[in-house]
Amino acid sequence: MAKAPIHLPMQTETRERHWEQVYNTKTCFEVSWYQPQATLSHHLIEKTGLPTTAALLDIGSGTSTLVDQLLLSGYDNLAVLDTSAHALSLVRKRLGTKATKLKWHHGDITTYSFSHPVDLWHDRATFHFLVDPSDRQSYLSRLNKTLVPQGHLILATFAVGGPDKCSGLDVVQYDAEKISATLGESFRLVETINETHRTPTGAEQLFAYFWFIRTT
pLDDT band at 5 (very low <50, low <70, confident <90, very high): very low
CATH of the domain at 159: 3.40.50.150
| Residue range of the domain that includes 63 | 12-201
Query: Residue 127 has what pLDDT?
Result: 98
Q: What is the rounded average pLDDT of the residues 62-79?
A: 97
185 within domain boundaries = yes
* Total of domains in the chain: 1
Query: Residue 8 has what pLDDT?
Result: 41
Query: Residue 12 has what pLDDT?
Result: 67
> What is the percentage of the chain residues whose pLDDT exceeds 90?
82
Query: Residue 19 has what pLDDT?
Result: 82
Query: Residue 31 has what pLDDT?
Result: 85
208 within domain boundaries = no
Query: Residue 15 has what pLDDT?
Result: 84
Beta strands in 107-186 (DSSP E): 118-124, 147-158, 165-166, 169-170
d(C-alpha 150, C-alpha 199), whole Å: 34
- 122, pLDDT greater than 50: yes
1 within domain boundaries = no
- 149, pLDDT greater than 80: yes
6 within domain boundaries = no
pLDDT higher at 15 or 214: 214
d(C-alpha 134, C-alpha 209), whole Å: 23
126 within domain boundaries = yes
Query: Residue 1 has what pLDDT?
Result: 44
pLDDT band at 4 (very low <50, low <70, confident <90, very high): very low
206 within domain boundaries = no
- 9, pLDDT greater than 50: no
- 44, pLDDT greater than 50: yes
d(C-alpha 89, C-alpha 95), whole Å: 10
Query: Residue 11 has what pLDDT?
Result: 65
Q: Provide the terminal-to-terminal Cα distance of the chain, rounded to the nearest Å.
A: 41
Average pLDDT, the chain: 93
213 within domain boundaries = no
